[in-house]
Amino acid sequence: MTPDFTRNHFDLFGLPVAFAIDLQRLDRDYREVQGHVHPDRFAAAPESERRLSMQLATQANEAYRTLREPLLRARYLLALKGYDTAEEDNTSMPADFLMEQMDWREQAEDARAARDAGALKALRESIDARRSAMHADLGKSLGSTGNYEAACMLVRKLRFLDKLGEEVLDALHAIEDAAR
């Protein structure tokens, strides 16, 4: 497979343009693409070829990182369809989602204050389960239903969940580190 850097990230790795992708195939095809363009292969080449190799390897790394992470992949797919998730500008959320966030934040603060690692782990599992359900919904919105507005909202919600999940994980690590 000769890499084609003139098209989209999916084409670069020979994948269908879809939210649900074969991650093992992505990993395999990424290694193959890197085998073609990695700067080590061009160490003795003229400066222009070495520079081009570096640029292509960087592009391959960015494409791989984008497709490997579900939220980045969703944003990329939406951009390909001409949709902006407007995460920086549009922070409005449905009331039920905001209430859920507030409840989880209170649980996290209570567990952090009580230094309750078990409660933080349980909260993290709840957040991960919600994130998995949203990924499934995102796959439908980007696929069979083609509801890109709903997909944009899901991306914004997932960003909130990712941030909360990181905060819970940080609190859990702080408790575990203090116990050592």
Rounded Cα gap, residues 156 and 175, in angstroms: 29
Tokens of 60: 């391959």
21-76 tens-digit pLDDT: 999 999 999 999 998 888 888 888 888 888 888 888 999 999 999 999 999 999 99
3-state secondary structure of 10: helix
C-alpha closest to that of 6 among 56, 72, 61: 56
C-alpha closest to that of 71 among 165, 4, 168, 145: 165
In order of their start, the domains of the chain are 9-68 (1.10.287.110), 95-179 (1.20.1280.20)
C-alpha closest to that of 91 among 162, 160, 138: 160
pLDDT at position 91 = 78
Rounded Cα gap, residues 168 and 127, in angstroms: 9
Residues 6+ apart with CB under 8 A from 15: 21, 22, 25, 26, 29, 67
89-116 tens-digit pLDDT: 887 899 999 999 999 999 999 999 999 9
Contact by Cβ (8 Å): 120, 114: no
C-alpha closest to that of 120 among 131, 109, 133: 109
Mean pLDDT of the chain: 92
Average pLDDT over residues 170-174: 92
Whether 1 shows a pLDDT value over 60: the answer reads no
